[in-house]
Amino acid sequence: MRMKSQYWFVVIVVAVIAAYFVVRSVFSGSETNAAQAKPTPPAGPPSVQAKLIPEVQRQYDVVVRGRTQATRTVVVRSETAGNVAVTPVLQGSVVKKGQVLCKLAVDARQATLDQARAALKSSELANQQNMELAKRGFRSPTQVLQGQANLDAAHAAVRQAEIALDQVNIRAPFDGVFDHRDAEVGTYLSPGQPCGTMIELSPLLVVGDVPETEAARLHVGAPATARLVEGQTLSGHVRYVAHDADPQTRTYHLEVLSPNPGLAVRSGLSAEVRIAAGSGPAHLAPISSLVLDSAGRQGVRYVKADGRVAFAPVKILDQGPDGVWISGINGPVRLIVVGQSYVADGQKVRVVEAR
């Protein structure tokens, strides 16, 4: 039976494809054998890029997160009892020392003062008469002393009545802000009850907590700057550094005193505080050059004079747009800036100077 021409065509195509794969496998095998037979040249030391970093003297700053705080916060309380008659100051107002914040009703206090003054006049006349009679011999020394004592008591009664009358005026104890009112007109205040709260904002405090690793580097009087969240900058000095750590956080409380002209800065704003803590050697390194060693320490890798890699643990002092300032290295160093994560301590490397 004769095959059709279409079947012959299919058989020829299949035969050609099979022949192609057979020939390809033969030549691939020979090339593989030749490659295996060819010796591999020995690999040289790995290449890294390094940059010579000089040592410079740099001011050390301790940086902590803090917040602004009023220098003084006082709840102003009544010294006597009575109903609030006048509230002349709105809460939130800037007030001067001695300005009346709340005024109680006078009630009978003025009458008491008038009565004491009248009694004082009577005592003065009686004492004057006693003195004249004593000169004529009609008064004994004891009677003269009794008259003087009565006069002194009358003076004291007047002073007491004046103080009682003045106590109806609840005054600001210092220049500051009347931040919160507790009593309104008609409120009855007993002695010790609050009229409101005063805060002092000039000068202003910036407070924060210093880690135990940094506390020993700070001292009272050290210059400091605080950058607020709004972009404002305050300059001042350290007023207080605690000597006893917080038992929960193991940090030390810090207070920076800063002028606040015009009360422009409010209490409670977040701030980044930088405190000058002396100077010492430092290196400016790219932030990408920082690595961790097998013990988890942060540091850098550099090339020693013999061309071998070494690791140095470092401490970050500051960070800026040009890199990070670090300490822990002595003198100029050839810092590995490319390839530092792919070499090991003591390994010989080929150094290419980084640009």
29 is a domain residue: no
Q: Of 165, 195, 225, which residue sits at a domain end?
A: 195
Q: Return the pLDDT at 4.
A: 55
Q: What is the domain-level CATH number for residue 231? A: 2.40.30.170
Beta bridge partners of 351: 48
Q: Which of 91-100, 163-172, 210-219, 315-324 has the lowest mean pLDDT?
A: 315-324
Please, what's the largest Cα pairwise distance for the chain?
A: 180
Query: 132 and 237 in one domain?
Result: no
Query: 81 and 189 in one domain?
Result: yes
310 is a domain residue: yes
21 is a domain residue: no
The tokens describing 259, both together, are 């002028």
Burial of 24: CB neighbours in 10 Å, binned 0-12, 13-18, 19+:
exposed
Query: 339 and 263 in one domain?
Result: no
The structural domain count of the chain equals 3
Query: 158 and 108 in one domain?
Result: yes
Q: What is the mean pLDDT of residues 60-67?
A: 92
35 is a domain residue: no
Q: Could you tell me if 173 and 76 are in contact, meaning their C-beta atoms sit under 8 angstroms apart?
A: yes
Cis peptide before 203 (omega within 30 of 0): yes
Q: Of 277, 296, 322, which residue sits at a domain end?
A: 277
At residue 79's C-alpha, the angle toward residues 195 and 159, to 5°, is 135
Range of the domain at 302: 48-58+281-353
Cα separation, 170 vs 77, in Å, equals 7
115 is a domain residue: yes
41 is a domain residue: no
183-197: pLDDT as tens digits: 999 999 999 999 999
Alpha carbon 334 to chain centroid, angstroms: 37
Query: 175 and 90 in one domain?
Result: yes
Cα separation, 104 vs 190, in Å, equals 11
Percent of the chain with pLDDT over 70: 89
Q: Return the pLDDT at 37.
A: 47
207 is a domain residue: yes
Query: 308 and 249 in one domain?
Result: no
2-35: pLDDT as tens digits: 455 556 666 676 676 766 666 666 555 555 554 4
Q: What is the mean pLDDT of residues 241-252?
A: 94
Query: 254 and 301 in one domain?
Result: no
More confident residue, 59 or 71: 71
Q: What is the domain-level CATH number for residue 343? A: 2.40.420.20
Cα separation, 238 vs 225, in Å, equals 10
The answer to whether the predicted template modeling score (pTM) of the entire model surpasses 0.75 is: no
Query: 178 and 158 in one domain?
Result: yes
129-144: pLDDT as tens digits: 989 888 888 888 898 8
Mention every residue, 6+ apart, whose C-beta is less than 8 A from residue 260.
201, 202, 203, 204, 234
Query: 285 and 253 in one domain?
Result: no
Cα separation, 333 vs 54, in Å, equals 7
177 is a domain residue: yes
Q: What is the domain-level CATH number for residue 157? A: 2.40.50.100
Contacts 24+ apart (CB under 8 A), 324-328: 324/284, 324/285, 324/286, 324/287, 324/290, 325/58, 325/282, 325/283, 325/284, 325/285, 326/282, 326/283, 326/284, 326/285, 326/300, 327/280, 327/281, 327/282, 327/283, 328/299
Query: 173 and 112 in one domain?
Result: yes
Q: What is the mean pLDDT of residues 258-281?
A: 92
Q: Return the pLDDT at 42.
A: 54
Q: Of 227, 260, 277, which residue sits at a domain end?
A: 277
Confidence of residue 312 (pLDDT cuts 50, 70, 90): very high
Query: 208 and 272 in one domain?
Result: yes
Query: 181 and 92 in one domain?
Result: yes
Other CB atoms closer than 10 Å to residue 18's CB: what's the count? 10
147-156: pLDDT as tens digits: 899 999 999 9
Q: What is the mean pLDDT of residues 150-172?
A: 95
Q: Which of 112-121, 152-161, 185-194, 274-283 has the lowest mean pLDDT?
A: 274-283
Beta bridge partners of 228: 271
At residue 141's C-alpha, the angle toward residues 139 and 142, to 5°, is 100
Dihedral sign from CA coordinates of 186, 187, 189, 192: negative
